[in-house]
Structures are given as C-alpha cells and as structure tokens.
C-alpha cells in the first residue's frame, strides 16, 4: 500500500452471494471477488452496503472476509466494512477484521441514531483503536442522515490510523480541503468518479465496477497518464451502464447481483429482505443497456 492510494485505486464494494434460500454462498462470493480482480481491480471492499452488511451476522462477516482472502490471495488489499450504529458491535467487527486477513476497515458514520459530532468522534476513536488497521472513513449523509463536519476531520487529522475517506457527499471543494488535511479521498459515487480524479482523488470505491471494472481501470490510467480527453471518452462510454445500475430503487446489491447473473458470475440474484430482487422488466432493461454498451457477450 502507498500513502497516495493506501488501499489501491480501483475498488468495488462487492456484493455478497446468497443461495436461493437466503443462506450465505461463500463459493459465489469468491467468484465475485475473482471476477473483480480479473477486471481491473487492485482492491476490494467486503461487507459494505452493497454487501448487504446490515443483514449479515458478525460470524458471517468473518466467513465472507476469509473466503474472499482465500479467493484473491495475499496481494489484493481488502477493506472490511465494520461500521454500524452500535459502537460495541463495530469494535468487535474491527477486531475480527484483522483476524481474518483485512488490510484495512471501512468505518461509516453511525446511522439512524444521528449522534452529534462529539458522539461520532467517540465512536470512531473506539473503533479505530480496536481495529489496529488503517481506516477508511465513509461519509454518506444520504444514508446516515449525518454529515461529518470539517472540524471533525480536523480533529482526526492527527489520528495516524485514519488514512482515507470514501466520499459520497459530492462537494468537490470540500473534498479538496479534506485531502489538504492529509487524507486520501476515494469517490463513493460512480457518477462523480472522473470529477473526483480531476480534483486529486486516489481512486474509487465503486458499485458499477461489478460490470465496468475494466473501463474504470482504463479511465483511471488514462487520467494518470495525462490524457484527460481519453479519460472523458471512457467515462462517456460507461455512462449508460452507470445510469442503468444506479437508476433503480435500492440500487447496489439488487442491480449488482442482476448484472452478475447476466454476466454468468452468479446463478441467481437473491438478496435478503428488506431488499427485493429486480423484477423481470427491470432485468430486461438492465440487459438491454449492458448489451448496447458491449458489456455482455
């Protein structure tokens, strides 16, 4: 890992596979991980929102992480989602993450409870200390109902373990200021990936990478090589697929699994309640866009 991109540059918050009865499918999860690594990824996030972490148990999270580590080997950075709205649970998940081979943890702002900034800082401090691993914060007020204040970032700037931020706020000027504090910034919104590169981001934590991983890699590499026109061309080519994946209610696990089924990586698109699978009309619409984008054989 490097300080500029501590967990790699092209990452996806990977889906977790389930059997049709809703039980954990470790073989399917391993196939997803290998598919991503074979298509442009140099890092993975497991047990994030797209991995349906609110519906998996701590024991399942450990099994998922162990299966993914075994599937991709030691050379791919793995970031384990450990954020919950209960500090004790997150502390336990953080300790477990190191045990099962994570290289870092993803720590989302506590959701639903809507703690103030002092409460967030206390929660973060306890989890960071327990993890004994590098930490990527996740700022996504659209899901958590709370946005991290700049003063909170300033407070954490001298916490050595907190090295990165996954940003789903979408304020580029604010993001530049966060980077000036010393944090690596990862785009947490696929539609903003190219914009974040232009503002100095380290890379992406994607959802659409399940289907456009090679293009994400090519866009990142074109931008890094000083070819912004080439990067824009690649982004424009990806845009219909990004909009198709992100334009469905409850996007994330639902659309990622439908796409993975269309690609032949998974044999079903089972999600755990309260999510529901895409219906046949939605799958047909997704198939049409992916085929037109040259992403299906």
Q: Which residues are marked as active site?
A: 138, 166
Taking the C-alpha atoms of residue 250 and residue 119, their distance in angstroms, rounded to an integer, is: 29
Taking the C-alpha atoms of residue 297 and residue 290, their distance in angstroms, rounded to an integer, is: 10
Q: What secondary structure, in 3-state letters, does 120-138 show?
A: HHHHHHHHHHHHCCCEEEE
End-to-end CA distance of the chain: 35
Taking the C-alpha atoms of residue 239 and residue 75, their distance in angstroms, rounded to an integer, is: 30
3-state SS assignment for residue 13: strand
**227 CB-near residues (< 8 Å, 6+ apart):** none
**67 CB-near residues (< 8 Å, 6+ apart):** 26, 29, 30, 33
Taking the C-alpha atoms of residue 178 and residue 100, their distance in angstroms, rounded to an integer, is: 30
Q: What is the CB neighbour count within 10 angstroms for residue 297?
A: 7
Q: How many whole angstroms from its chain centre is CA 140?
A: 12
Among 129, 47, 123, 125, smallest CA distance to 89 is for 123
Phi, psi angles (nearest 5°) of residue 281 = -65, -40
């Amino acid at each position: 890992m490097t300080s500029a991109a501590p967990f790699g540059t092209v990452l996806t918050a990977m889906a977790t596979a389930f059997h049709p009865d809703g039980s954990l499918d470790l073989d399917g999860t391993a196939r997803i991980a290998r598919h991503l690594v074979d298509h442009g990824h140099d890092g993975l996030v497991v047990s994030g929102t797209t991995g349906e972490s609110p519906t998996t148990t701590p024991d399942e999270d450990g099994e998922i992480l162990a299966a993914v580590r075994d599937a991709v080997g030691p050379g791919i950075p793995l970031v384990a989602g450990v954020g919950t709205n209960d500090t004790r649970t997150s502390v336990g998940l953080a300790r477990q993450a190191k045990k099962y081979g994570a290289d870092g943890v993803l720590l989302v702002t506590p959701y639903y409870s809507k703690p103030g900034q002092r409460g967030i800082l206390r929660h973060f401090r306890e989890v960071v200390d327990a993890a004994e691993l590098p930490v990527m914060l996740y700022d996504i007020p659209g899901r958590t109902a709370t946005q991290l204040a700049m003063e909170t970032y300033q407070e954490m700037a001298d916490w050595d373990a907190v090295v990165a931020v996954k940003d789903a706020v979408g304020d580029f000027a604010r993001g530049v200021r966060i980077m000036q504090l010393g944090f690596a910034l990862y785009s947490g919104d696929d539609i903003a990936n190219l914009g974040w590169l232009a503002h100095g981001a380290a890379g992406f934590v994607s959802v659409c990478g399940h289907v456009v991983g090679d293009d994400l890699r090519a866009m990142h590499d074109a931008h890094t090589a000083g070819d912004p026109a080439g990067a824009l061309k690649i982004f424009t080519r990806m845009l219909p697929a990004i909009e198709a994946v992100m334009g469905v209610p409850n996007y994330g696990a639902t659309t990622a699994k439908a796409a993975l089924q269309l690609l032949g990586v998974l044999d079903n698109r089972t999600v755990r309640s309260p999510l529901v699978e895409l219906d046949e009309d939605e799958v047909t619409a997704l198939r049409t866009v992916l085929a037109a984008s040259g992403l299906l054989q």
